[in-house]
Amino acid sequence: MKSVVVGIDVGGTNTAFGIVDKDGNFYGEGSIPTKTYPSFEDWAQSIHDAIMQTLKQQNEQIEIIGIGIGAPNGNYYNGCIENAVNLSWSGKVDVVGKIKELFGNNKLVVLTNDANAAAVGEMVYGGAKGMKDFIVITLGTGLGSGVVANNQMILGCDGNAGELGHVIIERGGRSCGCGRKGCLETYVSATGIKRTVFELLANENIPSTLRSYSFNDLTSEMIYKAAVAGDAIALKAFDETGKRLGYALADFSAFSTPEAFFLFGGLAKAGELILEPTKRYMEESTCIIYKNKIKVLLSELNDKNAAVLGAAALAWSELS
Amino acid sequence: MKSVVVGIDVGGTNTAFGIVDKDGNFYGEGSIPTKTYPSFEDWAQSIHDAIMQTLKQQNEQIEIIGIGIGAPNGNYYNGCIENAVNLSWSGKVDVVGKIKELFGNNKLVVLTNDANAAAVGEMVYGGAKGMKDFIVITLGTGLGSGVVANNQMILGCDGNAGELGHVIIERGGRSCGCGRKGCLETYVSATGIKRTVFELLANENIPSTLRSYSFNDLTSEMIYKAAVAGDAIALKAFDETGKRLGYALADFSAFSTPEAFFLFGGLAKAGELILEPTKRYMEESTCIIYKNKIKVLLSELNDKNAAVLGAAALAWSELS
Stretch (H or E) spanning A16: strand A14-20
Q: What DSSP state is assigned to residue A126?
A: S
Q: What DSSP state is assigned to residue A36?
A: G
- pLDDT at A301 (0 to 100): 86
How far, in whole angstroms, is CA A120 from its chain's centroid? Answer: 12
For residue A304, is pLDDT > 80?
Answer: no
Could you tell me which residues are beta bridge partners of residue A9?
A16, A70
- pLDDT at B303 (0 to 100): 65
Q: What is the pLDDT of residues A132-173, one digit of tens each?
A: 999 999 998 899 999 999 999 999 999 889 999 999 999 999
List of chain B residues whose C-beta atoms are within 8 Å of the C-beta of residue A159: 257
Which of A155, A167, A289 is opposite residue B254, by nearest beta carbon? A167
List of chain B residues whose C-beta atoms are within 8 Å of the C-beta of residue A150: 150, 152, 154-155
List of chain B residues whose C-beta atoms are within 8 Å of the C-beta of residue A132: 157
CB A269 within 8 A of CB A227: no
Could you tell me which residues are beta bridge partners of residue B262?
B136, B297
Could you give the CA distance from residue A51 to residue A148 in angstroms, rounded to a whole number?
30
List of chain A residues whose C-beta atoms are within 8 Å of the C-beta of residue B287: 163, 166, 178, 180, 183
Q: What is the pLDDT of residues A239-295, one digit of tens each?
A: 999 999 999 999 999 999 999 999 998 899 999 999 999 999 999 999 998 999 999
- pLDDT at A114 (0 to 100): 84
Q: List, as one string, the DSSP characters of chain B.
A: -EEEEEEEEE-SSEEEEEEE-TTS-EEEEEEEEGGG--SHHHHHHHHHHHHHHHHHT-SS-EEEEEEEEEETTB-TTT-EEES-TTSS--SEEEHHHHHHHHH-TTSEEEEEEHHHHHHHHHHHHSTTTT-SSEEEEEESSSEEEEEEETTEE---TTS----GGGSBSSTT-SB-TTSSB-BGGGTSSHHHHHHHHHHHHHH-----GGGGS-TTT--HHHHHHHHHTT-HHHHHHHHHHHHHHHHHHHHHHHHH--SEEEEESGGGGGTHHHHHHHHHHHHHHS-GGGTTT-EEEE-TT-STTHHHHHHHHHHHHHH-
For residue B302, is pLDDT > 80?
Answer: no
The proportion of chain B whose per-residue pLDDT surpasses 70, expressed as a percent, equals 99
Interchain contact, B150 vs A150, CB within 8 Å? yes
CB A279 within 8 A of CB A314: no
- pLDDT at A105 (0 to 100): 86
Interchain contact, A133 vs B156, CB within 8 Å? yes
Residue among B13, B183, B122 at smallest CA distance from A289: B183
- pLDDT at A90 (0 to 100): 84
**pLDDT, average across residues B22-35:** 92
Q: Measure in Å the smallest separation between the Cα of B155 and chain A Cα atoms.
A: 7
List of chain B residues whose C-beta atoms are within 8 Å of the C-beta of residue A247: 168, 171
Residue among A82, A158, A133 at smallest CA distance from B133: A158
For residue B286, is pLDDT > 90?
Answer: yes
Cβ neighbours of residue B49 closer than 8 Å, sequence gap 6 or more: none
Residue A103's CB is within 10 A of a number of other CB atoms, namely 17
Pairing assessment for the beta strands A92-94 and A295-298 based on DSSP bridges: unpaired
For residue A303, is pLDDT > 80?
Answer: no
Interchain contact, A149 vs B166, CB within 8 Å? no
List of chain B residues whose C-beta atoms are within 8 Å of the C-beta of residue A171: 247
Q: What is the pLDDT of residues B107-150, one digit of tens each?
A: 999 999 888 999 999 998 899 999 999 999 999 889 999 999 99
Which of B164, B285, B293 is opposite residue A254, by nearest beta carbon? B164
Q: Which of A157, A166, A186, A283 to mutate to test the interface with B (most CBs of B within 10 A)?
A: A157
- pLDDT at A1 (0 to 100): 86
Q: Measure in Å the smallest separation between the Cα of B166 and chain A Cα atoms.
A: 7
**pLDDT, average across residues A37-64:** 93
Q: How many CB pairs under 8 A join A and B?
A: 136
Q: Measure in Å the smallest separation between the Cα of B222 and chain A Cα atoms.
A: 31
Q: What DSSP state is assigned to residue A175?
A: B
Q: pTM value?
A: 0.89
For residue A313, is pLDDT > 90?
Answer: yes
- pLDDT at B257 (0 to 100): 97
Interchain contact, A149 vs B133, CB within 8 Å? no
Q: Measure in Å the smallest separation between the Cα of B202 and chain A Cα atoms.
A: 24
Could you tell me which residues are beta bridge partners of residue A92?
A82
Residue among B253, B258, B260, B257 at smallest CA distance from B284: B253
When the pLDDT of each residue in chain A is averaged and rounded to a whole number, the result is: 94
Q: Measure in Å the smallest separation between the Cα of A238 and chain B Cα atoms.
A: 20
Q: What is the dihedral of CA B70, B74, B79, B81, to 10 degrees?
A: -120
Give the domains, in start order, of chain B with CATH numbers. 2-119+304-319 (3.30.420.40), 130-298 (3.30.420.40)
Q: Measure in Å the smallest separation between the Cα of B27 and chain A Cα atoms.
A: 35
